[in-house]
Amino acid sequence: MKKNSGFDSTIEKLARGTASKTGRRSFIGKVGGFLAGTALLPLLPVDRRGRLNQAHAASVNSMTREGWKPQDKDPKSCDYWRHCAIDGNVCDCCGGTLTSCPPGTTVASASWVASCYNPGDGMNYLIAYRDCCGKQTCGRCGCVNTEGELPVYRPELNNDIVWCFGAEDDNMTYHCTISPVVGKAT
């Protein structure tokens, strides 16, 4: 599988280089600039991990010790390729879709980004995980996937934070996560 594409390496180099020289906001800005043409600003950290257990409790095909083995048929399953670094509940199982939040929620205006491999076409895609907020945790289709996921001191690549930043009404309350594509990573 093409898990470490040139684009991924570029992202990582950019992240490392700028991270070592700049503050977080400046760093975010640079990454956002790199992704010009997308509506992906600002690139801030996302949450998730703690949902881990709900992830465990209710998950279908969440990541195991054997590692990430994506499929491209069932978006509600944790091993769907877009979910390679999701930690939380798939909104598709909670009244939303892969790209829309369930009714009555609010959506974050910032995303955590990961590069996921699509086995259907053999390409890597940049995924912007966005949290839907303002209601209790959904509880269905909980997934804990950590492909390329980094520690909290690298927040833009960490999936443990409640990333409802920018959601209406200051709703820093996690409900579920959508996985829209930003674009091809290769």
Partner 1 sequence: MKRSNSQTKTGRPSVMRRFAGHLAAAAVLTAAQPALAEMPATLDGLATTPLHDKVTIDTAPPSDSKRVYVVDPGHFNMTSVIFPVDGKNNKLLGMVDATKLPNAMITSDGKRMVVANTMYSRVARGKRDDYVEVLDMETLNPVADIDIPEGRFLIQVLDKMASLSTDDKHMFFYQFAPTPGVGMVDLQKNSFVKMLDVPDCYYVFPAPKQNFYMHCRDGSMLQVTYDDKGNTKQKTHKPIRGEKDFMMNNPYYSTSNNRLVWPNYEGRVFQAKLTASGAEYMKPIEIFSDKEKAENWRPGGWQPVAYHKDRNEIYLLADQRAKWTHKTPSRFVVVADATTGKRLRKIEMKHDIDAIAVSQDKEPHLYALDTIAKTMHTFDAKTGKHVASLDELGKAPIMLIVADK
For residues 152 and 125, give the distance between their C-alpha atoms in angstroms, rounded to a whole number: 23
Is 36 or 44 the residue whose CB approaches partner 1 more closely? 44
Tokens of 176: 């579920």
Catalytic residue among 68, 81, 112, 163: 112
- The three-class DSSP label of residue 131 is strand
Asked if residue 70 lies in contact with residue 84, where contact means CB atoms within 8 angstroms, the answer is yes
Catalytic residue among 47, 79, 87, 131: 131
> In the annotation, is 68 catalytic?
no
Residue 121 CB, shortest distance to partner 1, in Å, is: 22
Tokens of 101: 């939040």
Is 37 or 117 the residue whose CB approaches partner 1 more closely? 117
Give bridge partners of residue 116 from the DSSP assignment.
Answer: 125
Residue 41 CB, shortest distance to partner 1, in Å, is: 16
Residue 37 CB, shortest distance to partner 1, in Å, is: 26
For residues 22 and 125, give the distance between their C-alpha atoms in angstroms, rounded to a whole number: 26
* Residues at the site binding partner 1, with contacts judged by CB under 8 A: 16, 19-20, 23-24, 45, 47-54, 56-57, 63-68, 87-88, 133-137, 139, 142, 144, 146-155, 160-162, 165, 169-175
Tokens of 96: 């939303």
Catalytic residue numbers, as ranges = 112, 131
